[in-house]
């Protein structure tokens, strides 16, 4: 049994996330965590809401709530939606937690102690209309790189170029919309990433198994232009982690907080400590996941994130960890994803365009969405959600292949043998060939899951379902029963055992349907099939079962059209 630490990028607190956010980090991370647990490994799966910075303040201002109350409410809503989608976090924390405050201040102190923080007097945009300095995300304007007119002061969402607020063309306040801006002098702390470039580059070069998407983004930021730049890690805000040097005040930094991108990744560690606190565990328990001098040397750490998060997780967060001089566990593998687009355009909260997590669960159970999103994960390039493709995938994969198999075999058995697994008959050549084919496919599925090849895993799982349908069609127990009831009994017994095996294999993708299948088979046997032949004898003759409700209902053309109209939003 191995130990696996898994983190998915922290979702911002400012509202309900759309399906693209979900498939870009949390959902594939859950797939991997569920798979590893099913294979008998020890897993620590961590996520949290990212609660500091401009998005939280702006969102709270719109609702009229104090920012702390807004964040507490939205954390509850996001946690509930995560449960609704079956995301199996060991802990879903908050970056505003006391644990993260202490740990962020501790690491900042260590970085300063080691000479990796410098104080910089810089010019920053000040809004006369708002009466305050405007940190990066409070400023909007036109990107000088691609011309996108809604670029933020820290990064352009369109081309992902990292920006400074003063880079923007025609800047305006994101608070008031005022263009009455001026540049004033203020003092901030900078992380000396440039001084750590050699160590970071060597670390990245050592990761020869990373996805091309991850390494290409990391090396582009590391080497393009002037190379790795020092990064400001403080802001003139009131909501956030107060700037301290460990437990001591930091002269000249009064009233400032750490930049959200500095404290947010540290919450991975802090959330693990929160898990220990919540479960009555000691300090040694969480530190064994994160400190290589306290047991984490045997941990494999995997991160999941969208491509826009890659630069901070391959450069800035590693710079913090390396620069601290402490033996923190570094990530072993970063699984990054491209974007999911919506019906020829982008998801848009402001335009009400696309499907968001809350609305998705209102119209269909989570497994419908989980299957489509994972089987169309944007791994090698962007993926597009269309209602036609969604309908086709649900109807053909889930309803016609898996659901139909479960329904046909259970209903036939009930009609001829009752709700009990029948005895009689021995496997023949057809069954032996099925077992051989299953073993081949399960091995391929296992390998794809182990290397986090999400779409390939879905392809192999569907192929495993298809084998059962092909066997059922060829064996035709409804015809065999007329001349050889014992042989038909054997075929049915094998088919019912296939349902249990399908439940175990499918659980990482469709956990709710998997539980329904196991419940119908009246078993909680969840052992991963090392050999299909042995797995198909797990439920013996005489074992009772029930015919389950329809696992997956087909999506009608009328429903598809209704939803397409409902979620089309206002096109720009």
Residues 6 or more apart in contact with residue 262 via CB below 8 angstroms: 104, 108, 191, 233, 316, 320
Residue 547 · residue 414 · CB < 8 Å:
yes
Distance of CA 15 to CAs 46, 266, 360, 458, Å?
A: 20, 22, 15, 30
Given CA atoms 495, 497, 502, 505 in this order, what sign does their dihedral have? negative
Give the residue from 308, 247, 236 showing the smallest Cα distance to 102: 247
- Judge whether 47 is annotated as a binding position: no
Residues 6 or more apart in contact with residue 141 via CB below 8 angstroms: 149, 151, 153, 168, 169, 170, 171, 172
- Helix, strand, coil percentages (3-state) for the chain, rounded to 5, are 50, 15, 35
63 CB neighbour count, 10 Å cutoff: 12
- Residue 349 and residue 326: Cα distance in Å, rounded? 41
358 CB neighbour count, 10 Å cutoff: 14
DSSP-based three-state secondary structure for 55:
helix
- Judge whether 71 is annotated as a binding position: no
- Residue 127 and residue 508: Cα distance in Å, rounded? 50
- Judge whether 159 is annotated as a binding position: yes
- Residue 396 and residue 188: Cα distance in Å, rounded? 57
* Number of alpha helices (DSSP H) and beta strands (DSSP E) in the chain: 22, 18
DSSP-based three-state secondary structure for 526:
coil
Quote the radius of gyration of the chain (alpha carbons, Å): 27
Instruction: State how beta strands 244-245 and 248-249 pair.
Output: antiparallel
Given CA atoms 463, 468, 470, 471 in this order, what sign does their dihedral have? positive
Distance of CA 111 to CAs 228, 246, 267, Å?
A: 17, 10, 17
Q: State phi, psi for 126 to the nearest 5 degrees.
A: -120, 135
| Residues of each annotated binding site for Zn(2+) | 143, 146, 156, 159
| Residues of each annotated binding site for ATP | 349
| Residues of each annotated binding site | 143, 146, 156, 159, 349
């Amino acid at each position: 049994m191995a130990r696996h630490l898994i983190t998915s990028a922290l979702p911002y607190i400012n509202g309900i996330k759309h399906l693209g956010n979900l498939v870009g980090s949390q959902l594939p991370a859950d797939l991997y965590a569920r798979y590893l647990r099913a294979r008998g490994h020890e897993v620590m799966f961590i996520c949290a809401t990212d609660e500091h910075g401009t998005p939280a303040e702006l969102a709270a201002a719109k609702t009229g709530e104090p920012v702390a109350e807004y964040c507490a409410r939205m954390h509850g809503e996001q946690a509930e939606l995560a449960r609704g989608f079956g995301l199996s976090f060991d802990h879903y924390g908050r970056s505003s937690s006391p644990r993260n405050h202490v740990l962020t201040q501790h690491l900042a102190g260590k970085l300063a102690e080691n000479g990796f923080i410098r104080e910089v007097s810089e010019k920053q945009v000040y809004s006369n209309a708002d009466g305050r300095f405007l940190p990066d995300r409070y400023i909007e304007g036109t990107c000088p790189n691609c011309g996108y007119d809604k670029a933020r002061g820290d990064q352009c969402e369109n081309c992902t170029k990292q920006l400074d607020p003063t880079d923007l063309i025609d800047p305006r306040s994101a608070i008031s919309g005022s263009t009455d801006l001026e540049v004033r002098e203020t003092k901030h702390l900078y992380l000396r990433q440039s001084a750590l470039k050699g160590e970071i580059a060597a670390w990245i070069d050592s990761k020869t198994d990373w996805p091309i998407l991850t390494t290409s983004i990391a090396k582009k930021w590391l080497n393009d232009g002037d190379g790795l730049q020092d990064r400001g890690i403080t802001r003139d805000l009131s909501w956030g982690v107060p700037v301290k040097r460990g437990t001591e005040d930091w002269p000249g930094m009064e009233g400032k907080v750490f930049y959200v991108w500095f404290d947010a990744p540290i919450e991975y560690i802090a959330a693990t400590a929160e898990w220990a606190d919540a479960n009555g565990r000691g300090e040694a328990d969480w530190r064994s996941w994160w400190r290589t001098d306290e047991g984490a040397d045997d941990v494999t750490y995997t991160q999941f994130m969208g491509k826009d998060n890659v630069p901070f997780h391959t450069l800035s967060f590693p710079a913090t960890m390396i620069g601290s001089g402490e033996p923190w566990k570094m990530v072993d593998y970063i699984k990054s994803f491209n974007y999911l687009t919506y019906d020829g355009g982008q998801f848009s909260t402001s335009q009400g365009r696309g499907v968001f997590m809350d609305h998705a669960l209102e119209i269909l159970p989570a497994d419908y969405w989980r299957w489509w999103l994972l089987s169309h994960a944007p791994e090698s390039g962007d993926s597009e959600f269309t209602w036609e493709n969604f309908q086709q995938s649900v109807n053909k994969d889930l309803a016609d292949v898996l659901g139909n198999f479960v329904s046909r075999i259970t209903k036939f058995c009930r009609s001829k043998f009752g709700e009990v697994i029948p005895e009689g008959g021995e496997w023949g050549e057809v069954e032996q060939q099925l077992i051989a084919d299953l073993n081949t496919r399960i091995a391929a599925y296992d390998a794809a899951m182990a290397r986090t090849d999400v779409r390939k895993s879905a392809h192999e799982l569907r192929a495993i379902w298809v084998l059962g349908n092909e066997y059922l069609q060829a064996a035709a127990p409804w015809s065999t029963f007329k001349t050889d009831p014992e042989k038909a009994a054997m075929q049915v017994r094998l088919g019912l055992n296939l349902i249990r095996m399908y439940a175990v294999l499918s659980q990482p993708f469709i956990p709710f349907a998997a539980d329904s299948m196991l419940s119908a088979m009246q078993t909680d046997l969840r052992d991963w099939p090392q050999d299909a032949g042995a797995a198909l004898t797990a439920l013996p003759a005489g074992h009772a079962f029930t015919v389950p409700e329809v696992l997956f209902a087909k999506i009608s053309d009328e429903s598809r059209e209704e939803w397409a109209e409902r979620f089309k939003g206002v096109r720009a």
